[in-house]
Amino acid sequence: MAAARRCSAPIFVLSERVDMGGLTDKPGRGWTKIEIASKKAYGCGEHGQELLEGLTLYGRLSDVPVLNSSLAIRMSHKACWTFDAELELGNHRRGLRRNQMKASGVVQMADDPDLTVIVLVLFRDLRRRLDYYLVYDHISASLSMIKYLPEIYEDVSTMKPVSKRHGSDFELFYMSHQLYPAPHTVLCVCTPDTRANAASDGTGLWQIKKGCFEHEETEEFKADVAFSLQGKGFWADLSQGLMYCDLCTSDVVDFGFIGLPGECRLDLAQKEVNWDVFGDIIEVPMKLNRTMGCVGDSIWFVCIDRSAAYADDLVKIWTLDLSRGKLLNGEWERMAEDVPVSVLLGLDSFKVEGLLEGRPEFPVLMADGGLCVVLSDQSKFPRPLQGPLVEPICSFDVPHKKLLWHGLVHDYPFTNHVIIPSNFLQRRHDSRKRKVDEQSPAAGV
């Protein structure tokens, strides 16, 4: 078998945690200021726009072959003071010692080609929080700050939204649990119309659509991944199946459900558990060896069945082809054969590159059908106390048994990450403007 030509990775691995630094300090060397052509705050109070104007986004990419990357947020001294004053206004214990304002940023979505969504939280001990969504639109180079969902709505495990283009603007969809008066699942929708006409019933910028279910609704459904395809939103519990709905519906949303292939469904007793450093039992995340996503007009489900020796692990793939109406009957098709991990690690291209073998974990499906995995060296667990853990990250064309690309990643098992395109920081506003013009209808049309 001929060795494949080495191909540089078309991705970077973005840390979920946003670097907030000292809030007003400069992020230092290696950071690139992200271009923002316009800013708009929605439902963020009297000083919302002023606050947003004081925010700056930065990005940092590691030097290849290391693929780690990060985002950072900094604010002007005026914005920092205004945020702090907003927190003080909501404080009902003003006699207590004033604590320093702190901030946290978490990336919810960055793998979408058009949008990056961050949750920004500002807080002091014993004082109220300020919660916002920051949405960076790569097409228009615009940054929106949107008031967070009301407290009676709780995310269904994954915080990642499903997104949809609306001409040159965007829509966000969150599947959530309404906690009271009667707990049930709803779809929270933020569109250009809801942002322009905030509701007066306490939901603000969000339209709340009650869910209607074709199956029995259970509280145990926990979405691990979320994505959209052909005008539908999908939320997948990698132990049970996926819920879906039409994103262009009325006030009531009809949720459908497709169970996983029978041999892959897990009940609570079958879920893998482990022990943390304190000896407490913790549930092993489903994303350790399972994933789901869309490839073309199909939904792919990947399960890596574990064995005592990682070389004996089996990569299994099932597909749902939406172009042939398979969504209606939930008919999964299994790919022709399961592929042993030993076959992938035994490829000539893998050997030629001198890559270290390890157990494939944290699979992520790429748009081209490649399966991106981290090769974990089990001899390094539990985590050593000195230095970062560096491991290979690879993408395989599993059906055709090919190594597509590879790189290195730091500390992947210990934090959540998002796969982003390698041109994440290289896009230019002129090209975005042309794309907006192409997508927007001409006058009079």
pLDDT in tens, 247-288: 986 778 888 899 999 899 886 545 554 444 444 444 557 889
pLDDT in tens, 109-124: 988 888 999 999 998 8
pLDDT in tens, 144-159: 999 998 888 887 767 7
pLDDT at 422: 83
- The percentage of the chain sitting over the pLDDT mark of 90, rounded to a whole number, equals 50
> To the nearest whole number, what is the mean pLDDT of the chain?
83
pLDDT at 410: 87
State the average pLDDT over residues 101-113.
Answer: 90
Q: How close are the terminal C-alpha atoms of the chain, in Å? A: 56
pLDDT in tens, 340-384: 999 999 999 999 988 889 999 999 999 999 999 999 876 665 554
pLDDT at 281: 43
Task: Give the predicted TM-score (pTM) of the model.
Answer: 0.86
State the average pLDDT over residues 24-32.
Answer: 92
pLDDT at 168: 87
State the average pLDDT over residues 411-424.
Answer: 80
pLDDT at 84: 86
pLDDT in tens, 210-243: 888 766 555 478 889 999 998 999 999 999 999 9
Cα separation of 441 and 445, whole Å?
A: 6
Nearest to 62 by CA among 337, 438, 399, 420: 420
Residues 6 or more apart whose CB falls under 8 angstroms from that of 105 comprise: 17, 18, 19, 20, 71, 73, 118, 119, 120, 121, 134
pLDDT at 330: 75
Nearest to 44 by CA among 124, 146, 118: 146
Higher pLDDT, 303 or 388: 303
Asked if 177 contacts 153 with a C-beta cutoff of 8 angstroms, the reply is yes
Cα separation of 410 and 13, whole Å?
A: 9
Higher pLDDT, 423 or 280: 423
Strands laid side by side in the 359-365 sheet: 359-365, 371-376, 390-397, 402-410
Reduced 3-state DSSP string for the chain: CCCCCCCCCCEEEEECEEECCCCCCCCCCCCEECCCCEEEEECCCCCHHHHHHCEEEEEEECCCCECEEEEEEEECHHHHHHHHHHHHHCCCCCCCCCCCCEEEEEEEECCCCCEEEEEEEEECCCCCCEEEEEEEECCCCEEEEEECCCCCEEECECCCCEEEEECCEEEEEEEEEECCCCCEEEEEEECHHHHHCCECCCCECCEEEEEEECCCCCCCCCECEEEEECCEEEEEECCCEEEEEECCCCCEEEEEEEECCHHHCCCHHHCCEEECCCCCEEECCHHHCEEEEEECCEEEEEEEECCCCHHHCEEEEEEEEHHHCHHHHCCCEECCCCEEHHHHHCCHHHHHCCCCCCEEEEEEECCCCCEEEEEECHHHCCCCCCCCCEEEEEEEECCCCEEEEEEEEECHHHCCEEEEECCCCCCCHHHHHHHHHHHCCCCCC
Q: Does the structure show a pLDDT above 90 at 100?
A: no
Angle at 261 (CA atoms; ends 374, 317), nearest 5 degrees: 35
pLDDT in tens, 163-212: 998 888 999 999 988 887 777 888 999 999 999 988 766 678 999 998 88
